[in-house]
Structure 1
Amino acid sequence: MKYYFCLFFISFSLFSQSNFEKGEKLFVQKKYKEAKVYFNNNLEEHPSDLKTLEYLGDIAGIYKEWDEAIECYENIKKQKPQNANYHYKYGGALGMKAKESNKFAALGMIDDVENSFLTAVKLDKTHIDSRWALVMFYIEIPAIIGGSEKKAQVYSNELMQLSKVDGYLSKGYIDVYFKRYKNAEKNYLNAHKIGNSQITFEKLYDLYLNKLNEKTKANQLKENFNKKIG
């Protein structure tokens, strides 16, 4: 009797889960298309639910459906204009659309991308992702429309204050972009000594293997890291 009661309880529990809870569970399992169905159902019942809109924006971003992602993030940042992460996500989706657009269309988006990241930085003095976004933004766009290593270094320095690993990684990223590979090695080594993570390993390994052509160092790094995680 207890066995059947347990089965009934479990079945009832699953049945009673909300559309949002079902969608969130599937999202965590990386079953994004299935999750989207439940999130859309929840949105019909709760059209302004911020978390549902954010999940739908995230799913759209995963599938590179930038217009849909932009619409979701724009909606939530308008509802919560003091939330740094919403501005960051909006700027990120807009930036990715700009990258995939023709030059003239992209030019019309640049200011909004920059302003979104700058707003996120102002709203949250500890927001790491928006500072990373600005480092990459100022390095990758041409100087004639606002690109600047000096500006990128400002936010790299802020990252250094918030997280030494991110600070060194961002400086290494800038050095690699400008082909200052020996300087990049120093920064990536510092990042790896502190973080000793998959990300710091991959950055340093790629530098040795594909930029400095130092296969011996690359192999030694890989061997040591595999021992650490093995």
Structure 2
Amino acid sequence: MKQFFLLLFFPMLLWSQSDFEQGEHFFNQKKYAQALPFFSNHLKQNPTDSKAMEYLGDIAGYQKKWDEAIGYYERLLLKFPKVANYHYKFGGALGMKAKSVSKFKAFGMIDDIKKAFETAANLDKKHLDTRWALVIFYIELPGIVGGSESKAQKYADELLKLSKVDGYLAKGYIEVYFKRYAKAESYLRRAYEIGHSKTTFEKLYDLYLNKLKEVEKAKKLKADFDK
């Protein structure tokens, strides 16, 4: 009976909430298409609401509408140029757009992506996601246009100071990228032993199973994680 009344009154509860509250409700459930019209309506009535802009930028990103996401984050940066997270999200949207366009156009975006991430890193010395983005950026970028293992290692070292797990995962990521699997195992093993999380397990398991082809080690790791 209790569940029946919850179902009966749930639409009324939503109706009594503001557009912003309803948008947040659906956003937190990862129902981005349903959240979108509520945040859009709220922003029309409250055009300076930065949180609604951020939500709309995030939704555009989840929907892979990179130009829309970039537009919202640019508006936020104009208002709040000292907020690291907006620079990080702006750089992330630019980076994803760069992956969806021609190499010629992508090369023209590199400086803006780099500036956004490095600005975020300088504004917030403890911003983990930005440092992860910079590790990946400098590793995946060809050396001829600014890629640099030493710079990637620099940000991996910064991660290590902030979070042992993230630092060892970043170090492991770099070693895997360059197929230095013995070193990668050392870093990823340490990350797993400290974090013992799904992410640390998956990274080490993938190394054993798909890179080193050491099936027994993979099985042993899985047994340990499943306990």
In 2, the alpha carbon distance for the partners of 1:80 and 1:116 equals 13
Q: Which residue of 2 aligns with 1:6?
A: none
Per the TM alignment, residue 103 of structure 1 is displaced from its structure 2 partner at its CA by: 0.9
> Which sections of structure 2, spanning at least 5 residues, go unmatched?
1-8
Q: Which residue of 2 aligns with 1:92?
A: 92
> What CA deviation, in whole Å up to 9, does each residue of 1:36-94 have, x standing for no partner?
01011101101121111111111111111111111111111211111100000000000
Give the aligned residue type for 1:122.
Answer: N
Give the aligned residue type for 1:191.
Answer: A
In 1, the alpha carbon distance for the partners of 2:27 and 2:142 equals 37
In 1, the alpha carbon distance for the partners of 2:110 and 2:11 equals 51
> Which sections of structure 1, spanning at least 5 residues, go unmatched?
1-8
How is 1:172-183 mapped onto 2 (pairs within 5 angstroms)? Answer: 172-183=172-183
CA 49–212 in structure 1, closer or farther in 2 if over 3 Å, else same: same
Q: Which residue of 1 aligns with 2:43?
A: 43
In 2, the alpha carbon distance for the partners of 1:93 and 1:211 equals 30
In 2, the alpha carbon distance for the partners of 1:43 and 1:27 equals 15
Give the aligned residue type for 1:84.
Answer: A
Per the TM alignment, residue 12 of structure 1 is displaced from its structure 2 partner at its CA by: 6.4
Q: Which residue of 1 aligns with 2:191?
A: 191
Q: Which residue of 2 aligns with 1:209?
A: 209
Q: Which residue of 1 aligns with 2:74?
A: 74
Give the aligned residue type for 2:218.
Answer: A
Give the aligned residue type for 1:45.
Answer: Q
Give the aligned residue type for 1:117.
Answer: F
In 1, the alpha carbon distance for the partners of 2:193 and 2:19 equals 45
In 2, the alpha carbon distance for the partners of 1:11 and 1:147 equals 52
In 2, the alpha carbon distance for the partners of 1:212 and 1:74 equals 44
What is the TM-score of this pair, normalised by structure 2?
A: 0.94
Aligned length: 222
Give the aligned residue type for 2:49.
Answer: D
How is 1:115-154 mapped onto 2 (pairs within 5 angstroms)? Answer: 115-154=115-154
What is the TM-score of this pair, normalised by structure 1?
A: 0.93
Q: Which residue of 2 aligns with 1:4?
A: none
CA 210–11 in structure 1, closer or farther in 2 if over 3 Å, else same: closer
In 1, the alpha carbon distance for the partners of 2:102 and 2:36 equals 30
In 2, the alpha carbon distance for the partners of 1:10 and 1:113 equals 43
Per the TM alignment, residue 14 of structure 1 is displaced from its structure 2 partner at its CA by: 3.7
Q: Which residue of 1 aligns with 2:15?
A: 15
Give the aligned residue type for 1:178.
Answer: F
How is 1:149-164 mapped onto 2 (pairs within 5 angstroms)? Answer: 149-164=149-164
Per the TM alignment, residue 11 of structure 1 is displaced from its structure 2 partner at its CA by: 7.3
Please say which of residues 12-21 and 110-119 is displaced more in the overlay: 12-21
Structure 1 residue 108 and structure 2 residue 108: aligned?
A: yes
**What is the RMSD of the two structures over their aligned residues, measured on CA atoms?**
1.7
Give the aligned residue type for 1:154.
Answer: K
Per the TM alignment, residue 224 of structure 1 is displaced from its structure 2 partner at its CA by: 1.1
In 1, the alpha carbon distance for the partners of 2:215 and 2:61 equals 36
Please say which of residues 189-198 and 218-227 is displaced more in the overlay: 218-227
SS at match of 1:64: coil
